[in-house]
Structure 1
Amino acid sequence: MSKQGKYEATARDVLALVGGKENVASVVHCATRLRFKLNDKDIPDREALKNHPDVIMVVESGGQFQVVIGNHVGDVFKFIAAECDLNIADSKNTSSGNLLEKFVDLVSGIFTPFLGVLAASGILKGIIALCDQLKLWEATSGTRLILNTASDALFYFFPIIIGYTSSLKFKCNPFIGMAIGASLVHPDIVNAFNESGKPGAQGIDFLMIPVVLMSYSSSVMPAIFSVWIASHAERFFNNILPSSIKNLIAPLLCLMIVVPLTLILVGPLTTTLAQSLGQGFKFIYDTFAVGAGAIVGGLWQVFVIFGLHWGLVPLMYNNLDTLKADPIVPMILPAVLAQVSASFAVFLKSRDPKLKLLAGSGSITGIFGITEPIIYGVNLPLKKPFVIACIAGAIGGGIIGYANTQVYSPSLTSIFTFLQIIPSTGIDGSWYGALIGTVFAMILSFIGTYLFGLPKVTVHANDNSTITSNRKETDTMQSVVDTLHSPLIGKIVPLSEVKDETFASGLIGKGCAVLPSENHVYAPSDGVVTSLFKTLHAIGITTDSGVELLIHVGIDTVQLNGQYFSAHIQEGQRIKKGEKLISFDKDMIVKAGFDLTTPVLVTNTENYFDVLTVNETEATTSRPLLKLVK
C-alpha cells in the first residue's frame, strides 16, 4: 500500500471510530494531533482508537477529543477534512463545555492553523540573528533584507492572519475578517499613526468622532474582538436582509460599521488591555523570575496533556507585541528537551524492540519540538521518565528564569529556540543561562531515567514451570501478581507468530495464542463475561482480580457469522474457573479455510509491568498459561 493509501485508510478508521462524520462538529490539527469537537462524546470507541496501529494516544481535554497521530497527522487530516467538509467547521455545539473548555477551544482554534508557519518564521529570524553575530553579511545587505522580510511578514501582518482564523472560529465570512485585520495595518493608518507623533500633527476623526491612532502591527487582541463583533453583525444582517441582496449588502454594512468601530473603540481598548497584561506579566516575572521558571519548566508538559498550555499562548504573542520579547518560551525549553533526554535514555536502556523504536524515533522529532510521540508513547506510560523529566525541567526553568532569558521572535520550542534567544546586542549571559539550564536539565533527566526510570525484571514462577518475558529484562526481581490458566487445550503459539498483524504486534494487548486440539473454551479464572460477540467467535472476560482478557477463536472467523460456534454463557454472567464458555467445531472451521490459532490477550496490559508466557509447548486447562507482573 502506498503512503497516501495508508494515510487514507487511517483517516477512514479514525473517522469511523469517533462516530463518523455525522458526529464531527469540527476538526483541526496541530503538529501531531487531530483535534475533534464532537456532537456526542459518548459515541467514540476509545479502546479501539488506542489500539489502532497508527494512533499513539487518545486525549480528552479542553472540550476536544484529541487523537495523537504523530508526524503524519497533516496527511491524515487532509482525507478527514475532505470527508467532513470543513467549510462548516464549528457549526455545531459551540456553546458546550465550561468556561475553561470554551477558552481552550477558542484559542486553539484560532492559533493552531498557522503555528507551523509561525514557528518557521521565528526560526528564520533566529538564523538571521546568528548570521548577524557571525558577521556573515552587511547590515544593509539585500540578502538580509529579503530574508528578514520573509521572517517578519507573518508576524507584522498578524491582524490579517488572526482575522482569517478568527472568522472561521466565529463562523463569519473569512474575507470580512481579513479585511478588518488588514484595515489595522493599512498604509494610510500606519502613516497617520507615524505622523501623529510629530509636532503640530493633526489627528483624524470619523464623522467628527476622534480616532485614537495606535500601532496594530503584530497585534493579537484587536482583530479577535473585532471579528467577534463582525460575526454577530453579519448574522444579524443575513437574517433581516432579502436573500437577493444579502451577499452584497451584509459584508458592506459589516465593513462600514465594524472597521470604524475597531479604530475608534475596540482597537484602543484592546491594545490598552494588551499593554496592561504585558506590563502586569513583566512585573510578576521581574518579582518572581526563578519561581516562575521552575513552575513553567516543571509543569509545561502537564499543561500540554490537559490542554491548559493554550492559556499561555496568547500571553506569549502579546509579550512579543507589547514588550518585544517573551520569557515564557525559554522557560519551556528545558521542559521539552528534558523529555527528549528521558526518552533517549529509554532508547538506550530498554531491550523491548517496539519501545526502542518509538523512543529512538520520537527523540529525534522531539528535538524539533514535537514531543507528543515520546510523551504519550514512552515517558507517560512508563511514568517515572515523565516525572523525572518534569523535575529536571523545573530546575532548568528556574535557572533560565534567574538568567532572565528572552525570546525575540515567535517560536515553537525546539533546539532552534537557541537561535531566537540571541539578543540584538549579541550573545550574553542570558543566552548562556539558557544553555546551562537546558543542558543541566537534559543531563539530570537522562541520568535519572537511565538509573531509575526503566525497571527490569527477572521473574521466578511459583511452580516448577519457567516463563519467558516479553521484555527480556533480567536484572532485578519483580513479583508475579496474577496467574491465568489456559482457556484451551492445544499447542502454545508465540503471539509474534500469529498471522494477523493487529494481534501479532501486541497493540490490542500482550499474551500468546493457542492452536486448539479440542473444541471448547474454558474460563481461565473466576470473573464476569464482559462481552460476547454476536458471532460467538470471541469473548471478553474481566477476572475478579481485574485482568481484562480477550479470547479470539481463530483468525477472521467473524466471517463465519456464528456458524460452527455455540455459547454456554451470556454477556454479564458470572463464571467460575474451568467452566465451559464456548464450543466450536474446529474441523469444520479449518475445512472452511480459516486459521484456528486463538489469541489469548490481556487487553489492560498497561496496568502491568509485563505479561509473561510459560516456556512450554502444550497448553492445558490445569496449568498456567500467562503470568502478570508488577
Structure 2
Amino acid sequence: MKHEQLATDILANVGGKENVSSVVHCVTRLRFKLKDESKANTEVLKNMDGVVTVMKSGGQYQVVIGNHVPDVYAAVLHVGNLGAESENSDSTSDEKMSMGAKFIDLISGVFQPILGVLAATGMIKGFAALILALGWVDATSGTYQLMNIAGDGLFTFLPIFLGYTAMKKFGGSPFIGMAIAAALVHPALSTLTTGEVSKVLFQGTVFESPIHITFLGIPVIMMSYASSVIPIILSTYVASRVEKALKKIIPDVVKTFVVPFFTIVIMVPLTFLAIGPISTWAGSLLGAATLWIYELSPLVAGLIIGGLWQVFVIFGLHWGLVPIAINNLTTLGYDPVLATTVMVCFAQIGAVLAVMLKTKNKNLKSLSVSSFISGIFGVTEPAIYGVTLPLKKPFIMSCIGGAVGGGIIGVATGKLWMFGGMGIFVFPAFIKPGSGLDMAFYGSIIALVAGFAVAFVLTYLFGGMNQEKSSNLTNETTSASKEVAATKVENEEVVSPLNGEVKALSEIADAAFSSGALGQGVAIEPSEGKLLAPVSGTVSALFPTNHAIGITTDSGADILIHIGMDTVQLEGRYFTAHTTQGEYVKKGQLLIEFDMEEIKKAGKPLTTPIVVTNLKEFNLELSKQKQVKTGDSLFTLGKK
C-alpha cells in the first residue's frame, strides 16, 4: 500500500468518498463520476505529487496518474472502503449530464472494463497470424491452432462479457446479463438453421430472412450473435428495466430466484424475436455507412482522424469510435477507422524525443525520457500532459505527424483484422489471418516512420525549443545562480504581476487557497488583463488551459499564480500565453493575457492568488500596499 497516502489525498480532494458515485480506471486515469464536481479541489489535485493532471470530460472527473494507475486505483478502493468499480451510482449526477456526455459515459462504462483483456487476446491472435505469415508454423499445427483459439475466444463470446459489463452499467444484475448473452451464443443454435424453411420474411429486400423455427407460433429470425455488440447492449438495457419492475412486485421471500427466472424467460425470447434481428440489421447498416464514408477518401479520412485523435483522447471523445470499430470487426471482419489512429503514439513520441534533445531543463528532459518509453507501448498521456501539451507547439507538431501517419495508412488501405494491442504491439493486427504480409502491413511500418519523423523534425525546428535560445537561457540561469551564490543574496523581492487591489488569501472563496493549503502569499483583484513575471526564474509549470503558471526563482522559491477562480472550466478560452514551460523569464516579462470581460460574463471571479508553495524553506514578509501596479513590491522572501 505504498500509494495509500496518495489515494487518501485524492479521495479527500474529490469531495470525499461520499461524493463518489463510481470510480473505474483505464490505462493511465482514475475515472470518477462525482455527485457534485464543485466539491472537488481540482487545482490541489493538479499540483499533487503523483498526479499528472485532471480532466473533466464525458461526465467523468478524470485524475491522470500514469502507468501505475492500477496500484493507485486499488489503494483508492482500499482507503475509501469502496467496492470494485464502486458502482454506487446516483441518478442525480446522470441528470446533470448532457446527452453527449451520457453517451460517452455509457460507452466507456460498458467497454472500458474489458479493453485490457480484449487488447491482450487480440495481441495473441495477431502474433499467431504473424508466425503463420512468416512461415514459422503451419495452419494445421497445434501450436498455431491453440494460439488462435486463445486469441479468438473472448471475441467469439464477446456478448457474454458485454452482458456482464452492460447489465452492471444499467444497474441490473450482471449474471442475468451473462445468462441472456450465453443463450445468444449457445452452440445448439447452429443446428436450428439446418432444418426446413417454413417461410421467408421480407423477401426481395436486404432484410430477407428464411424462417426455420417459431416460438409460440411467432417466426424466429435466426442470426449469428457470436462477436456481436449492439444486440446484447440493447437487450441488457431492456432487461435491467424488466428486472427493476419485477423486483417491485415479487415478494422478498422468493425474489432471489423468481426475479432472474422471469427476467430471463421474458428477455431471451424477446431478444431472438425482435431486439436481436433489429439491432443486427442496425449494426450492419452502421458498418456499411462507416465504410461508405471512409471509402469516399481514405486519405482524407486518415488525415482527419489521425490528426485529431489526440484531441479526442484529451476530451474522452475517442470512446465514441470504439463501439463502431468493434461493430465493424463483427459485421465487416475488419475495421479501417481505428487503423488510422494506431500510429499516432509514434508521432507523439517523435515530438517528445525532439523536446528531450533540445531542452536544457533537467526536469523536462527527465520527464521526456519516461514519457518516450511509455509512448513506445502506446501509453501517451504522460507525454501529452507532461511534455507536449504544456509546450503547445510540440503537441501541434505531433498532431501533424499523426495526420501524416493516418493518411498513409488510409492510402495503403490499412485495416485492423483484430482488436490488437497498443504501440509496437499493434502491428500484427494489420495481418489478415491466413494471409501473408501485404502492402497494408508494410504501409503501417511506413506510417510509423513517417509520422515519427515529421513530428520529430517539425518539433526540433519549429517547436519553440530553439537550441541557441535554450543555450542562452541556460547561460542566463547559470549566471544568475552564480551571482546569487557569489553575493549570498538572502532576500528576494516578489513584485506585483498585475494592476489591481491587493487582498488577503483568507478573503478568497476557494478553500484550497484561503486555508493556505497551496501556499502563502496574497491575492489581487486585477484591473487589467495582463500578467507579468513577478520574479526572474524558470517557468516550471504552465497549465494547458493557460489559466495558471508556476515559476521557480533563482533562489529556489516556487511561485504559483492562478488567474481567477474555477477558470480551468473555461478550457483555455480567453487566455493567451506568451511563454512556454521550461523557458527562463525575466521580472516584468509578459507571461499571459486574459480577456477580463469574457471571463466575467462566464461567471468566473478574477481574484488571482500569488503564493509561494515551498514556504518551509523561506520567510515571507508582506508589503502593506493595497493598490498596486505591475512592478510594485508584493512581498519579500528570505532563505531560512
TM-score normalised over the length of structure 1: 0.77
SS in structure 2 of the partner of residue 34 of structure 1 = strand
What is the letter of the counterpart of residue 546 of structure 1? L
Counterpart check, 1:273 vs 2:282:
yes
1:541 and 2:556 are equivalent in the alignment: no
Match of 1:90 in 2: 89
- Asked whether 1:35 is paired with 2:31, we answer yes
Residue 13 to residue 623, structure 1, CA distance change in 2 (3 Å): closer
CA 1:190/1:355 → structure 2, altered by over 3 Å: closer, same or farther?
A: farther
Q: Which residue of 1 aligns with 2:599?
A: none
1:309 alignment counterpart: 318
Deviations, residues 486-521 of structure 1 (Å, cap 9, x unaligned): xxxxx9799xxxxxxxxxxxxxxxxxx99679xx99
* Unaligned segments of structure 2, at least 5 residues: 201-209, 478-482, 507-513, 536-554, 564-576, 588-617, 624-631
Aligned to 1:592: none
Conserved in 2, the CA contact under 8 Å of 1:330 and 1:417?
no
Aligned residues: 531
Find 1:450's aligned residue among 460, 463, 473.
460
Cα deviation, 1:198-235, whole Å, max 9, x if unaligned, reads: 99998122112121111111100111000000100111
Q: Take 2:380 and 2:150, find their aligned partners in 1: how far apart are those partners?
A: 27
Aligned AA (1:240):
I
Whole-angstrom distance in 2 between the partners of 1:219 and 1:535: 54
- Cα 1:199/1:403, change in 2 over 3 Å: farther
> Counterpart of 2:547?
none
How far the C-alpha of 1:429 sits from its partner, in A, is 1.5
Q: CA 1:169 to 1:421, structure 2 compared with 1: closer, same or farther past 3 Å? A: same
Q: 1:434 aligns with which of 436, 444, 448?
A: 444
Letter of the structure 2 residue corresponding to residue 288 of structure 1 = S
Instruction: Decide whether the 8 Å contact of 1:50 with 1:56 is kept in 2.
Output: yes
State the match for 2:608 in structure 1.
Answer: none
Q: Distance in 2 between matches of 1:375 and 1:522?
A: 33
Choose from 296, 303, 309 the match for 1:294: 303
The one-letter amino acid of 1:336's match is: C
Shift of 1:336: 2.1
RMSD: 3.5
Q: Does 1:343 align with 2:342?
A: no
Cα distance in 2 between the residues matched to 1:600 and 1:250: 61
- For 1:136 and 1:154, how far apart are their aligned partners in 2? 25
Task: Give secondary structure in 2 for the equivalent of 1:137.
Answer: coil
User: What residue is the counterpart of 1:385 in the other structure?
Assistant: 394
Q: Is the 8 A contact 2:408 2:447 kept in 1?
A: yes
Given the superposition, is the C-alpha separation of residues 262 and 10 from structure 1 closer, same or farther in structure 2, using an over 3 Å criterion?
Answer: same
Map of 1:358 onto structure 2: 367
Match of 1:529 among 480, 498, 503: 503
Contact kept in structure 1, 2:351 and 2:395, CA below 8 Å: yes
The reply to whether residue 333 of structure 1 matches residue 342 of structure 2 is yes
Deviations 1:404-423 (A, max 9, x none): 11110013442222111012
Q: Which residue does 1:187 correspond to in 2?
A: 187
For residues 422-472 of structure 1, give each alpha carbon's deviation from its aligned partner in whole angstroms, at most 9, with x where no partner exists. Answer: 12321112222222222111101111111121435989xxxxxxxxxxx76
Separation of aligned partners in 2, 1:152 and 1:371? 27
Identical-residue share of aligned pairs (%): 41
Contact 1:367 1:415 in 2 (8 A): yes
Structure 1 range deviating more: 225-234 or 445-454: 445-454
| Distance apart, 1:543 and its partner CA | 7.5
Q: CA, structure 1 residues 34+203, in 2 after alignment: closer, same or farther (shift >3 Å)?
A: same
Is 2:237 the counterpart of 1:222? Answer: no
Q: In the alignment, is residue 148 of structure 1 matched against residue 148 of structure 2?
A: yes
SS in 1 for 2:214: strand
Residue 9 of structure 1 pairs with residue 18 of structure 2: no
* Residues 535, 338 of structure 1: alpha-carbon distance in 2 compared, 3 angstrom cutoff: closer
In the superposition, relative to structure 1, how do residues 90 and 408 fare at CA in structure 2: closer, same or farther (>3 Å)?
same
- CA distance in 2 between counterparts of 1:611 and 1:32 reads 31
Whether 2:462 is the aligned partner of 1:425: answer no
Contact 2:412 2:439 in 1 (8 A): yes
Distance 1:16 1:624 in 2: 32
Aligned residue number for residue 587 of structure 1: none
Q: How does 1:363-374 map to 2 (within 5 A)?
A: 363-374=372-383
Q: Distance in 2 between matches of 1:534 and 1:376?
A: 28
Write the letter of the residue equivalent to 1:248. F
Cα 1:549/1:522, change in 2 over 3 Å: closer
Unaligned runs of 5+ in 1: 460-470, 479-490, 495-512, 551-596
Structure 2 distance, partners of 1:266, 1:349, is 58
Take 2:585 and 2:334, find their aligned partners in 1: how far apart are those partners?
Answer: 54
2:497–2:531 Cα contact (<8 Å) kept:
no
Match of 1:573 in 2: none
Q: Is the contact between residue 163 and residue 180 of structure 1 (CA under 8 Å) also seen in structure 2?
A: yes
Q: Distance in 1 between matches of 2:415 and 2:77?
A: 38
Distance 1:474 1:209 in 2: 80
Q: Is the partner of 2:436 in helix, strand or coil?
A: coil
1:366-411: CA deviations, max 9, x gaps? 1111111101111111111110111121122112111111110013
Q: Is the contact between residue 274 and residue 322 of structure 1 (CA under 8 Å) also seen in structure 2? A: yes
- Please give the alpha-carbon distance, in whole angstroms, between the structure 2 residues aligned to 1:133 and 1:199: 44
